[in-house]
């Protein structure tokens, strides 16, 4: 049995690529001869740093690292296998769920999970079929769905990485709303009363933006990330402003104590000093691997986020 509380986390790991050039994706920058000069030393250092960060999420509140960790910006199964061999994770009973998505850059979502406490019952990749302004398909990341057994209760997890604002706010805003609608169609197909559902991801919108507040967080869900954001907390910083694109949203079942083993306790951003930039004008921001084309040697341009669940005796 698990000690209480337990952590569930999400982490955008900023371009966790191997060093090989894949013929199917636009990953040449992340090769030894590419623009990023991405070789074995930098790759191995990145693995060790991400492993260290994951192993320490929630360390002040929990006896174990997170039971489930959703990941964004992982290239393939190989990088996940290598990540689990890192010094901080190699002795922990983690496994992963991953599907290759059609994203042009080759970045995917994944779920790490502790095999001793989470039993996978089902999983699939949910295709995100959206078009750009020219009515041409936008090949973006799939949504990862995982159904599992946690402390005797069935839990449904959806790991997301929605389109960024890079190609224009108005155009991409509609895409994110469309994905929120798609996700709710999938959730309705569960046909399960009072289901325990966790929606996590990098949504490229803040908790009070339209796609999240009015389309994703329906009456059946609560978003604890909203309070964090309204208290000026963020997991990434752009143009000097804190953003909270990384969120964990829960169905109402986690907030009802009656007949529940697992109930919501707390939501937090994991931002200890070792994950922050130690110098310069970006001091105290997430310690990035790259700033533009310049190698920084950090962890990620995002902090991990996590929730705590209390467990009934």
pLDDT tens track for 51-82: 999 999 999 999 999 999 999 999 999 999 99
* Residue 56, Cβ density class (10 Å: 0-12 exposed, 13-18 middle, ≥19 buried): middle
Go through the chain and tell me how many residues it has: 313
**In-domain check, residue 230:** yes
Q: Are 309 and 3 in contact (CB under 8 A)?
A: no
On average, the pLDDT of the chain sits at: 93
Least confident of 17-26, 162-171, 183-192, 284-293: 162-171
Q: Angle at Cα 295 formed by Cα 294 and Cα 301, nearest 5°?
A: 95
**In-domain check, residue 1:** no
Q: Are 57 and 306 in contact (CB under 8 A)?
A: yes
**In-domain check, residue 268:** yes
Q: What is the pLDDT of residues 180-209, one digit of tens each?
A: 999 999 999 998 889 999 999 999 999 999
User: Residue 186 — φ and ψ, nearest 5°?
Assistant: -65, -45
Residue of 139, 234, 216 lying closest to 176 (CA atoms):
216
Three-state SS string over 168-219 comes to CHHHHHHHHHHHHHHHHHHHHCCCCCCCEEEEEEECCCCCCCHHHHHHHCCC
Residue of 90, 84, 196, 215 lying closest to 146 (CA atoms):
196
| Pairing label, strands 6-16, 68-74 | parallel
b/e per residue 289-305 (b: at least 16 CB within 10 A): bbeeeeebebbbbbbbb
**In-domain check, residue 110:** yes
The residues that bridge with 147 in the sheet, in sequence order, are 122, 156
**In-domain check, residue 152:** yes
- Those residues with Cβ within 8 angstroms of residue 229's Cβ, 6 or more apart along the chain or in another chain: 206, 207, 208, 244
Q: How many domains does the chain have?
A: 1
User: pTM, whole model, 2 decimals?
Assistant: 0.96
Structural domain including 234 reads 6-311
Tell me the pLDDT band of 129, cut-offs 50, 70 and 90.
Answer: confident
- Those residues with Cβ within 8 angstroms of residue 3's Cβ, 6 or more apart along the chain or in another chain: 62, 63, 64, 311
Write the CATH number for 263: 3.60.10.10
Q: What is the pLDDT of residues 200-233, one digit of tens each?
A: 999 999 999 999 999 999 999 999 999 999 999 9
Report cis status (omega within 30 of 0) of the bond before 196: no
Residue 301 has pLDDT above 90, yes or no: yes
Measured distance CA(24)–CA(30) in Å, rounded: 14
Q: Are 235 and 245 in contact (CB under 8 A)?
A: yes
Residue of 160, 21, 15 lying closest to 74 (CA atoms):
15
């Amino acid at each position: 049995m698990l000690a209480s509380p337990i952590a569930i986390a999400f982490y955008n790991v900023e371009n966790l690529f191997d060093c090989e050039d894949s013929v199917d994706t636009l990953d040449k920058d992340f090769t030894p001869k590419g623009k990023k000069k991405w070789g074995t030393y930098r790759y191995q250092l990145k693995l060790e740093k991400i492993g260290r960060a994951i192993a320490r999420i929630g360390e002040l509140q929990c006896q174990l690292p997170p039971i489930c960790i959703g990941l964004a910006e992982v290239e393939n199964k190989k990088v996940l296998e290598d990540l689990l061999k890192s010094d901080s994770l190699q002795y922990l009973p983690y496994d992963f769920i991953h599907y290759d998505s059609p994203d042009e850059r080759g970045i995917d979502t994944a779920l790490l999970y502790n095999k001793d406490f989470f039993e996978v019952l089902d999983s699939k990749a949910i295709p995100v079929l959206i078009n750009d302004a020219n009515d041409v398909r936008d090949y973006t990341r799939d949504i990862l769905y995982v159904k599992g057994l946690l402390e005797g209760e069935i839990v449904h997890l959806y790991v997301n990485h929605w389109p960024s604002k890079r190609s224009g706010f108005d155009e991409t805003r509609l895409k994110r709303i469309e994905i929120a609608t798609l996700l709710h169609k999938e959730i309705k197909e569960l046909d399960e009363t009072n289901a325990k559902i966790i929606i996590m991801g990098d949504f490229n919108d803040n908790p009070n933006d339209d796609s999240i507040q009015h389309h994703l967080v329906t009456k059946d869900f609560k978003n604890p990330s909203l309070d964090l954001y309204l208290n000026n907390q963020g997991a990434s910083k752009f143009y000097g402003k804190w953003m909270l694109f990384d969120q964990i949203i829960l169905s109402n079942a986690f907030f009802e104590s009656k007949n529940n083993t697992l109930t919501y306790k707390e939501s937090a951003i994991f931002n200890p000093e070792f994950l922050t930039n130690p110098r310069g004008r970006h001091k105290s921001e997430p310690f990035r691997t790259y700033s533009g084309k310049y190698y920084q040697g950090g962890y990620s341009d995002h902090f991990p986020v996590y929730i705590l669940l209390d467990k009934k005796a």
